[in-house]
Amino acid sequence: MRPLIPIVAIVICGSLLTTVSVAAGPLPNYPEHQDLSYYLDAERKRHPIRTPDDWAIRRRQILAAMQTVMGPVPGDDKRVPLNVEVLEETVLDDGLVRRKIAYDTEKTTRVRAYLFLPKTEQAKSSAVLCLHQTTRPGKREPAGLEGKPNLHYALHLAQRGYVTLSPDYPSFGEYEYDFDREKTGFRSGTMKAIWDNMRAIDLLQALDEVDGERIGCIGHSLGGHNTMFTAAFDERIKCLVSNCGFTRFHKYYDGKLVGWTSPRYMPAINDDYKNDPDKVPFDFPEIIALFAPRPFLASAPVRDSNFEVSGVKESIAAARPIYKLLGAADNLQANYPDSAHDFPPAARQVAYEFFDRHLRR
């Protein structure tokens, strides 16, 4: 048995993060978000995107637009020692170790998570951050302790040899959280979750068992778009899989965006943009393009009633030219299983093999 680790203080340098501040002055207002062939300058003049430098301009605008809705990515004033503490340890089959841990993500927040450490002869393993769906048990479902067996992906990937970490999203599992903006300083639950996930990556990179350059992220439903939002702002995520995680805003319940507007997510979509997909200043085709050239797999069941599949296909098609521009066309993949809002075995196998292909050496 591996010994219990004591409480430790870990601080990761902020330079490891993708830091993007909201641009000074008004952002260009794009009439729609599927055409990624151009960028607008301050006078709204169109310029074709022909080079990576051209794309970098539009990319910065997309990240800034996301922050106008989600709130700004926190700065180093939010970073505190993680103070990792092991609460429980269980040795499972084949020497797999499951640890329940707690750690600080900021001065006022302590998160609990399940950490899996596989038995391996490798000095350092790849790691995957595993984000749960909208479910009361939170982290316990990916960890295989509750919920649907199809969603036990933190356990499954650990059994394949990955170090995995499954934390609670704010207000789920053991994570009590007051989303009051005045108290927290976060404009949205979405940005709070992004920050917590960045700190989870800090933690993974600090582990002796982990190769910090081979970290992935996966999630279903809430976990699927939580994965995408985090990877947009943190390039330490080298490979990601979203299952049942998104569709174009116009295809989400015929453009009725109220499901995105609770305090857990992005209230500004209602408060500032009146739930109108024509007014929201970003959309998922742009988010996918932000990942390029990193490997991204969209797992999108054709009978998903939450995230309509045609909007996924349109998003993938819109982002594909950017992947080609950056010489990584094969890194953008999509799988369309014949299922409802679920992660069936065949779809999981595609996802797990995607990680094997891109995270293992």
Question: pLDDT by residue (tens digit) across 286-310?
Answer: 999 999 999 999 999 999 999 999 9
Region 251-256 average pLDDT: 96
**Contact predicate 213/271, CB 8 Å:** no
| Residue pointed to by tokens 């020692």 | 81
Region 77-99 average pLDDT: 96
- Mean of pLDDT over the chain: 93
pLDDT at residue 26, as a whole number: 79
b vs e for 236-261, b when ≥16 Cβ sit within 10 Å of the residue's Cβ? bbbbbbbbbbbbbbbbbeeeebeebb
- pLDDT over threshold 50, residue 9: no
Burial class (CB within 10 angstroms; exposed 0-12, middle 13-18, buried 19+) of 303: exposed
> For residue 293, is the peptide bond before it cis, meaning its omega torsion is within 30 degrees of 0?
yes
Residue 25 binned pLDDT confidence (cut-offs 50, 70, 90): low
Residue type, 332: L
Span 215-233, pLDDT tens digits: 999 999 999 999 999 999 9
Query: CA-to-CA distance for 36 and 58, rounded, in angstroms?
Result: 8
Region 191-219 average pLDDT: 98
Quick one: what percent of the chain has pLDDT higher than 90? 89
- pLDDT over threshold 60, residue 348: yes
**Helix, strand or coil for residue 125?**
strand
Residue 76 binned pLDDT confidence (cut-offs 50, 70, 90): confident
Q: Provide DSSP, 74-94.
A: P-GGG-----BEEEEEEE-GG
- pLDDT over threshold 90, residue 244: yes
Region 89-114 average pLDDT: 96
**Helix, strand or coil for residue 265?**
coil
Span 26-39, pLDDT tens digits: 799 999 999 999 99
Q: Left, alpha or beta for 94 (phi > 0: left; psi -120 to 50: alpha)?
A: left
pLDDT at residue 48, as a whole number: 98
Q: 86 or 8: whose pLDDT is higher?
A: 86
- pLDDT over threshold 80, residue 16: no
Sign of CA dihedral 338, 344, 345, 350: positive
- pLDDT over threshold 60, residue 6: no
pLDDT at residue 29, as a whole number: 92
Beta strands in the chain (DSSP E): 38-40, 46-48, 85-91, 97-106, 109-117, 125-131, 163-167, 210-220, 237-243, 296-299, 332-335
Region 126-139 average pLDDT: 98
